Structure 1
Amino acid sequence: MKYLYLSFFLFIALSSALAQDFKGVVLNSDSIPVSGVYLSNLRSGSHAHTDELGMFVLKNNKPGDSIRISHVGYKPVKLSYRQERVVVKLAGSAFQLNEVIVSEGINHLSTVAAVDLQTSPVSSSQELLRKVPGLFIGQHAGGGKAEQLFLRGFDLDHGTDINIAVDGMPVNMVSHAHGQGYADLHFLIPETVGQIDFDKGPYHANKGNLATAGYVAFETKDRLDNSSITLEAGKFNTYKALGLFNLVNTTKQAAYLAADYIKTDGYFESPQNFKRLNLFGKYGVNFANGDKLSFSASTFSSKWNASGQIPQRAVDEGLITRFGAIDSNEGGETGRTNINVQYSTYFNAATWLKTSAFYSRYRFELYSNFTFFLNDPVNGDQIKQKEDRNILGFESVLNKKYTVGKADLTLQGGVGLRYDDVNGIELSHTTNRTTTIDRLMLGNINETNGYGYLNAEYEMGKLMINPAVRVDYLNFRYADLLSNAAVSKQGKATLSPKLNFLYNQNKDLQFFLKLGKGFHSNDTRVVVAQQGYKILPAAYGADLGTSWKPAERLIVNAALWYLYLQQEFVYVGDEGVVEPSGRTARKGVDLGLRYQLTNWLFLNGDATYTHGRSLDNPSGENYIPLAPKFTFTGGLSIKDLGRFSGGIRSRYLASRPANEDNSIVAKGYFITDGNVNYSIGRFTFGVVTDNIFNTRWNETQFATESRLQNEAASVEEIHFTPGTPFSIRASVSVRF
């Protein structure tokens, strides 16, 4: 019997000795590390991904095993396993959907983001946001203000329930002069974006305040493929100039500058006179020990006039046209300057530490008139919203991987701080953008958000369990400059647990169950007015779904979801502010599809159905104003068809309630845009068309009570900003 035991232990020892780790680094043809490369052992089924330094460790390999190495945009490679560390070089190739792996982690939508960005590049910050499946945007100040956002049955206003970041730096402005979570993304030059990460729901511990309906995280490119200059001109006196300039591009260092200038009169009768200038620079260095430093700086300024939201009755009565204005003195100016530093330390293949710090200087001034002559029959109801803000923040994240028996455990811990210093936040009654009649609110805000989180990923074969917890502490201080009252202050902490399950049947099929709690903070002025009551309303969510690749060139993702919020915000048009409301619940279905019909033709589509209701109002009076019931986006993209590229894309937003009893309805719309490009040598010529079929549509709509100057009584009805009519622009680019 002892010989039997001895033989058994010798067999185990021999098997362990034969099963070895396969280690190495993956580079592109220019010897630059490639992250996110997928490696799989064709015998054992074990798999791994390269990190940001291109390094990998693939477990459970035996002599003679075949290792497949693949990444979107590169030719796949097959190697025979050997014990020494290897250097693999991948050659570039045309984008092919059959190289996409759907079972890559907790965020099942990361695959969709990569596919969309590859097959349909963007040229405006509005298009960047439209890359999020199911996310709709609406502009009601001609391109100057941040867009109004819609996602999963939410009217997100300008960002109340969606967390948006660029290179780890927050875009959302808490306790903003115009609206909570105001997210103006116009400082980001679209052509510098290298990756988009997004997901829906409150399921990620590294995403905090406002990440309830979802989050969007943009990452700018570390380096440019080449330098280029683009000039564009089109209808409505629209002009654009873009420059991308490589300064340094070696295996160890990269630096580039980008500049973007846009000017347009817009399609309104009162010229918009819109002007925006963006500047961006980035420098990165890879040190000999594997550490990585990245430094970026950007600045943007924008100025515009706007025709605002107009009442439907004024158009019906012939007082103005659809593109006219009641108060043509609306508009504003804004600007933001950012400095961002990121440093990554790689201790070994299993351990890394990333630290980032940022500073933003922000200014905002907006003139609006929502109610016209309702409150002031003589001077009108124009308001000014203004603020001057400084933002400081940092975050440090430590990641460590362990092997526990046959399972892999990854622990990630992070701590961070954000501090907002808002000076002269103002709401005033004005006329002609020159005279202040009455200051309604004026004060200084200091808001601090400190946080920490712990995230664990325990992978046992095909099953991954992802428990996580996050704690946030927020401190609110408000000094009312219109009174002699002492500084008001409140503080509160909140705990946000998460628990996600993933089952990867194989590299082409993943099932997931996501559970989590998130929150959005209230405006500081609301917090102190309510003496801290319900200042951090929670959101509870659940997603059950799948990512599936039933054929080599077809990806399908689907989810059933539910989201409960302790508190909503309702936009109050006659005051230009937001105020808290009651509890809501939403449930729905998401469905997405990506299909490569030929080597050069790609089809995509995303649909979301939502049933949302207020829980504190009686039936029939419990509709959520402006909450989308059904949305669809889809289109065809042509990539690398000889010298041609381009696409056609449509979006549909169904009609929805504009008030609580659905007696006023915001009309839906179906819009189609298109573009075509032709490249010859270093030059690319392009044509972009908005609203190809010249559809008459309303981009943003609100149920607002207003009074015109000739009216004896006020009227509540739809007020809208018309969507762009048929528009065409031509461009030429040169690469060097």
Structure 2
Amino acid sequence: MGYEYRSERAIRDNCRTYSARSVCHVVLSIEAVLAGMMVPWCSNAAGILTLNEVEVRADARNLIGTADSANEGTVLKRQLDERTVYRPGELLETVPGLIVTQHSGEGKANQYFARGFNLDHGTDLRITVDGMLVNQRSHGHGQGWADMNFIIPELAGGLRYQKGPYYADLGDFSSAGAVSMSYVDKLPRGIANYGVGQQGFIRGLLAKSYEAGNGNFLYAFELLTKDGPWINKENYKKFNAVLRYSQNTGNTRFNITAMGYGGNWNATDQIPQRAVTWGLIPRLGAIDPSDGGESHRFSLSAALQHTSNHGVTRANLYTIHSNLALFSNFTYFLDDPINGDQFSQTDKRFQSAFNLNHTWVTGLAGFAFENLAGIQVQSDVIDNGLLSTQQRRVLSVTRKDHVLENSVGLYYQNSVQWLEKFRSVAGVRSDFYWFDINSNIDANSGREYDSITNPKLSLIFGPWAKTEYYFNYGSGFHSNDARGVTTTVDPKSREPVSRVHPLVRSTGYEAGLRTAIIPGLQASITFFQLDLASELLFVGDAGTTEASRPSRRKGFELSAFYMPNNWLMMDLDYALADARFTDWDPAGNHIPGAVKGVGKFAVAVDNLGPLFGSMQIRYFGKRPQVEDNSIQSGNTVTVNGQIGIKIDKKFRVMLQVFNLFNTKAHAIDYYYTSRLPNEPDAGIADRHFHPIESRSFRINLVGNF
């Protein structure tokens, strides 16, 4: 079930006896909110007063009085538990306006779409899990690589999402948005889950938590295999493991967590439309059946939160070791008519980070100022490469690089309740980056430094009639691949190329409202504009960096969550965006792959006898494929759902269905030039697509102990 906490305004009403202008807060990490923890405290000019007993009643999704914009929100654990997802990354589709898809094998990072972006594998969507940044910078396959395959859905405690560059504590990759997922510290009961289904699906999960000393010890182990509907079976195999110890009582709370993931797979990448039309391959076939990959990820993390009369201090520390070997062939025989164009991208890294922040309150002229200051330090030691291969056999080395990338982010944020119906949040963030690249091509080696400072401002009015209004401004950034910062020659042709700027600024403007005027309903609408100085991205498939043009995205997002009672829950969102290049070019000003409209509707029924179930409808709108918009992708509508029965309090059975109406639509589309055997040397420009997986069923047997 969903966790609840009392709103800031309700707590503030209990604090007025301390000072006419005292401000009361619920200051804690979102992980704590979604795990049912809360640390309420009041402040006035004399200092901070802890409230030991505060009644917990309000819905956790009611952010009126606490949110800084209309675009931020929370997703409850109950919503995640009742979601029918084909792959773990699709849990993020509970975020309004966000689409998660795939264009290759299951072990590869997802493709993300939001706010008029084709975010590729995570270029401008910041994803963290238990405080660990999932996006990997200067990755072998592309900047921002965010692989969610290590997630165990049953352990997800909830999500917090924020859109736009308006938040001082969010740095790299967050221009379009940020999603923070928490893991639970303990489970109400142990979970034993065994699932079987069509397309070779088998999954087993065992998870349980125990009281240990003053805290809890939690473990989870998952094994999965899946072939998919493809002619060339995926033979995807993965394991996941989690060990966690936590203490969540007293003024000091902490957890220590170890995670491990490994996977290997065959891939059916996107295929050319002409190959299917001409009957060369079936719709679920592959051009190069040797594509695929293997990866692993191991992490050790610790998080701490300490509450005192001086405020709340939070810290987390983690280190991640990951390794990926990816084999792809998107152009087939265009570059090498004899051996084919398959290439391998490798990435091996140690990623370490330390994050520390402190929240405190000071009084001045009768006002209480809530202050937040923090530092974020990250270091990446990376070895990656681009190799020419044939059937996963290395033919030649295009480039190999040893990359050291270090960064420090400093931020400060100040919140003030100026009037009963008006408050402001102002912040500033400075980021400093150091790059050191040692390449097998001497001309592409070197060192570089860059920094950027970004202001943030939010103005919040209300609430009136349980409705609050927001105006936001801020600038942010995304980093570019370190190799592009020092590259001076193309690694294939050895022709001169221009270096790129390490850090690229984004600037956003937004207005919106949030309302809870109807009991059980939480709704918001947001109008936004986001400008990027340049969409500079490392093109991992070619081993080079391209600087694209400046751009602007504008649109709106609408979301509504309705829970009128404890057995019915409905979630609706729709977003529309217009994405254009802002300079002139005869090719046109549309941004290829930029999503226009997306929408989702989910309904879940539970706590109404032994039966329970849910259904999700997903609309993925058209995208321009070329700059003049003369070629567009189609739209995609899919329906997933599940129905189950509770045999008793400890055992239930679920039947899940994916792509209920067996649509033949596309998961993703691209338009580029490729060459099949016996075609002209210059190749043929064509639509390339990855089909939606055909309808499949799974049965899950879940026991609690």
Question: TM-score of the superposition, structure 1-length normalised?
Answer: 0.86
Give me the whole-angstrom Cα distance separating, in 1, the residues matched to 2:63 and 2:138.
41
SS in 2 for 1:518: strand
C-alpha change, 1:571 and 1:397, in structure 2 (3 Å) is closer
Partner in structure 1 of residue 155 of structure 2: 192
8 Å Cα contact 1:253-1:286 kept in structure 2 = yes
Partner-residue secondary structure (3-state), 2:606: strand
What is the distance in 1 between the residues matched to 2:224 and 2:78?
Answer: 25
Residues in 2 aligned to 1:719 and 1:576: alpha-carbon distance in whole angstroms: 21
Q: CA deviation at 1:137?
A: 1.4
Aligned to 1:232: 195
Q: Secondary structure at the match of 2:338?
A: coil
The more displaced of 573-582 and 239-248 is 573-582
Structure 2 residue 233 is matched with structure 1 residue 271: yes
Q: Does 1:280 align with 2:239?
A: no
> How much does 1:449 deviate?
0.9
C-alpha change, 1:642 and 1:103, in structure 2 (3 Å) is farther
Aligned with residue 379 of structure 1, among 325, 333, 339: 339
Within the candidate set 359, 373, 385, 1:413 is matched to: 373
Pairwise mapping of residues 68-467 of structure 1 onto structure 2 (< 5 A)?
87=53, 100-114=62-76, 117=79, 120-121=82-83, 124-248=87-211, 252-286=214-248, 290-348=251-309, 351-423=311-383, 425-434=384-393, 436-460=394-418, 461-467=420-426
For residues 402-450 of structure 1, the C-alpha deviation after alignment (integer angstroms, 9 at most, x for no partner) is 3445533110110121010002x1111100112x122111111111111
Name the CA distance, whole Å, in 1 between partners of 2:288 and 2:39: 60
Q: Secondary structure at 2:242's aligned position in 1?
A: strand
Aligned-pair CA distance for 1:187 = 1.3
Task: Decide which of 599, 607, 611 is 1:632's aligned counterpart.
Answer: 599
Distance (Å, rounded) in 2 between the aligned partners of 1:692 and 1:168:
36
Report the 3-state secondary structure (helix = DSSP H, G, I; strand = E; otherwise coil) of the residue aligned with 1:313.
helix
Displacement after TM superposition at 1:650 (Å): 0.8
User: Matched residues in 2 for 1:339 and 1:594: separation?
Assistant: 35
CA separation of 1:719 and 1:304: change in aligned 2, threshold 3 A: same
Aligned to 1:580: 547
CA distance in 1, matches of 2:4, 2:556: 39
**Which of these two proteins has the greater Rg computed from alpha carbons?**
1
CA distance in 2, matches of 1:697, 1:573: 28
For residues 162 and 663 of structure 1, do their structure 2 counterparts lie closer, same or farther at Cα, with a shift above 3 Å needed?
A: same
Amino acid at match of 2:562: Y
The equivalent of 1:651 in structure 2 is 618
CA contact (8 A) 2:84 2:615 kept: no
SS at match of 2:628: coil
Q: 1:691 aligns with which of 655, 659, 663?
A: 659
Residues 1:84 and 1:555: Cα distance change in structure 2 (over 3 Å) = closer
Correspondence 1:720 to 2:689: yes
Q: 1:716 to 1:170 in 2, by over 3 A?
A: same
1:709 and 2:677 matched: yes
* Alpha-carbon separation, structure 2, partners of 1:219 and 1:371: 40
By how many angstroms is 1:544 displaced? 0.1
Residue 297 to residue 98, structure 1, CA distance change in 2 (3 Å):
closer
> Alpha carbon RMSD of aligned pairs, Å?
2.7
CA distance in 2, matches of 1:629, 1:99: 27
C-alpha distance 385-99 of structure 1, shift in aligned 2 (>3 A): closer
1:517 and 1:676 map into 2 onto residues whose CA distance is: 45
The one-letter amino acid paired with 1:135 is: L
Note the alpha carbon deviations across 1:185-243, whole angstroms, 9 max, x for none. Answer: 11121211112111110111111011100111111112211111000010111011111
Q: Secondary structure at the match of 1:314?
A: helix
Give me the whole-angstrom Cα distance separating, in 2, the residues matched to 1:255 and 1:407: 43
One-letter code of the match for 1:735?
N
Aligned residues of 1:98 and 1:552 also touching (Cα < 8 A): no
Counterpart amino acid of residue 493 in structure 1: S
Query: Equivalents in 1 of 2:587, 2:378: separation in Å?
Result: 42
Q: Match for residue 33 of structure 2?
A: none
The CA distance in 1 between the partners of 2:544 and 2:97, in whole Å, is 26
Query: Which segments of 5 or more consecutive residues in structure 2 lack a partner in the other structure?
Result: 29-36, 489-497
Count the aligned residue pairs.
674
1:573–1:474 Cα change, 3 Å: closer
Which string of whole-angstrom CA distances, capped at 9 and with x for unpartnered residues, describes residues 665-702 of structure 1? 21111111111122122001101111101111111211
User: 2:529 maps to what in 1?
Assistant: 562
The answer on whether the counterparts of 1:103 and 1:547 sit within 8 Å (CA) in structure 2 is: no
Q: Which moved more, 1:578-587 or 1:722-731?
A: 578-587
Change (3 A) 1:365 1:118: closer
Query: What is the rounded CA distance, in whole Å, between the counterparts of 1:577 and 1:568 in structure 2?
Result: 15
Farther-moved stretch of structure 1 (722-731 vs 671-680): 671-680
User: In 2, are the aligned partners of 1:103 and 1:509 still within 8 Å (CA)?
Assistant: no
Query: Residues 240 and 311 of structure 1: is their aligned pair in 2 closer, same or farther, counting only changes over 3 Å?
Result: same
User: CA distance change for structure 1 residues 228 and 397 in 2, over 3 Å: closer, same or farther?
Assistant: same
Query: Is contact 2:140-2:540 (8 Å) kept?
Result: no
Asked whether the equivalents of residues 456 and 474 of structure 2 are also in contact (C-alpha less than 8 Å), the reply is yes
Amino acid at match of 2:608: L
Quote the Cα distance in structure 2 between the aligned partners of 1:406 and 1:691.
59
Residue 595 of structure 1, CA deviation: 2.1
8 A contact 1:122–1:190 mirrored in 2: no
Matched, 1:593 2:552: no
Kindly tell me: are residues 278 and 670 of structure 1, through their superposed partners in 2, closer, same or farther at Cα, counting changes over 3 Å? same
Match of 2:507 among 528, 540, 550: 540
Structure 2 counterpart of 1:137, one-letter code: V
Contact 1:491 1:532 in 2 (8 A): no
- What secondary structure, in the 3-state scheme, does the structure 2 residue paired with 1:527 have? helix
| Secondary structure class of the residue paired with 2:75 | helix
Contact 2:669/2:688 (8 A) holds in 1 = yes
Shift of 1:643: 2.2
User: Paired residue for 1:476, among 430, 435, 439?
Assistant: 435
Q: Is the CA contact 1:102–1:507 (under 8 Å) kept in the aligned structure 2?
A: no
Relative distance call for 1:90 and 1:501 in structure 2 (3 A) is closer
Distance in 1 (CA, whole Å) between partners of 2:339 and 2:429 is: 50
Q: Which moved more, 1:339-348 or 1:389-398?
A: 339-348
Matched residues, percent identical?
28
Deviation for aligned residue 1:346: 1.7
After superposition, what is the alpha-carbon deviation per residue over 1:100-132, rounded to whole angstroms, capped at 9, x for unaligned? 453322154554523873783566522321111
Asked whether the equivalents of residues 69 and 458 of structure 2 are also in contact (C-alpha less than 8 Å), the reply is no
**Which residue is equivalent to 1:3?**
none
SS for the counterpart of 2:225 is strand
Partner of 2:494: none
How far is 1:631 from its partner?
0.8
8 A Cα contact 2:84 2:642, kept in partner: no
The CA distance in 1 between the partners of 2:4 and 2:78, in whole Å, is: 23
Q: CA deviation at 1:387?
A: 1.5
The 3 A distance-change label for structure 1 pair 51 and 494 is closer
Partner of residue 456 from structure 2, selected from 498, 516, 532: 498
- Whether the 8 Å contact between 2:593 and 2:623 is mirrored in structure 1 is yes
Measure, in 1, the Cα distance between the counterparts of 2:261 and 2:665: 30
Q: Which runs of 5+ in 1 are unaligned?
A: 1-27, 61-82
TM-score by length of structure 2 reads: 0.90
